[in-house]
Structure 1
């Protein structure tokens, strides 16, 4: 699985900010409600962040415990580790979408800040954008927790390992996995 590209997150955030701003302009023009998530969505985002962080800390503890060569190695369920990584990446992408959308709404609401008597929507959009930012930070952090550092060994890279040798030759050159006879 490839790590998240921060530039991709930035691009998604900018696109969603423009979309959120455009949707707010259109809904205000036609006297419709501003397309912002309710405050209760913050609780859901908080639960997702906490669960992702707890699972990520479990992976980090396992990784740090197994780094010490003197202690007994502890096994980790690889499915749990893979699911934690997927959850972390999904958390980062969902946070990017929420941050972008609500940042666009917040920017539009700032334009009419002094004209409105009720700035509740503006504060809700800002809170939702903050929740999205928290999801991005936790997602990227837990993704980093799931990265296994390279093992320290006495052999140079490429030697003593199956596959390619130090000069790029295949191991067992001249032998094939099947016979063509």
Structure 2
């Protein structure tokens, strides 16, 4: 599986923002206004970003040789989680960005301004989530073959040397 590109995330965010803006304008045109984004959403998004970053950091620590062992399935799951977090961050960025864009014409109204600020903070938190996902994906990337810094390189060289010594004897 390949890492998520920033271009893909930007495309997802822009498409979601356009569709979200159309949905918000349609709903508001019928007289229904979305509530402001509660602060607990921001906390949850940032907590998720921290969890994804931590999971990626564990994989990075293993690759740097600072952690004795790591289940390969856990590393693969961490990569998938990081990819999902990056895409979710892009989707949430677009959705909350659409809410900000829909409120921009009415910023003189205090309630609309408060909704725009709350959605803007949620956009920032969603960007943090997408960034944490991209960073965790990078942490899960395997070094190229033959890289001397990979964990176990010394043990592998020692085993190869023992094999050569045994073959020549």
TM-score range relative to shorter protein: 0.7 to 0.9
Tell me which of the two structures has the higher relative contact order, counting C-alpha pairs closer than 8 angstroms and 6 or more residues apart.
Answer: 2
Q: 1:102 aligns with which of 96, 113, 135?
A: 96
- Which secondary structure state, in structure 2, belongs to the residue aligned with residue 130 of structure 1? helix
Match of 1:142 in 2: 136
TM-score by length of 2: 0.79
Alignment of 1:1-181 (within 5 A): 1-34=1-34, 37-65=37-65, 74-114=68-108, 116-118=109-111, 119-152=113-146
Q: Distance in 1 between matches of 2:39 and 2:92?
A: 13
Q: CA deviation at 1:33?
A: 2.1
Q: Distance in 2 between matches of 1:35 and 1:29?
A: 15
Q: Distance in 1 between matches of 2:110 and 2:86?
A: 35
Cα-Cα RMSD? 2.0
Deviations 1:44-88 (A, max 9, x none): 21221111111111111111117xxxxxx8331101101111110
Aligned residues: 147
TM-score by length of 1: 0.74
Q: Which runs of 5+ in 2 are unaligned?
A: 149-169
Greater gyration radius: 1
Structure with higher helix content: 2
Q: Distance in 2 between matches of 1:153 and 1:108?
A: 51
Q: Distance in 2 between matches of 1:54 and 1:14?
A: 28
Q: Which runs of 5+ in 1 are unaligned?
A: 67-72, 155-181
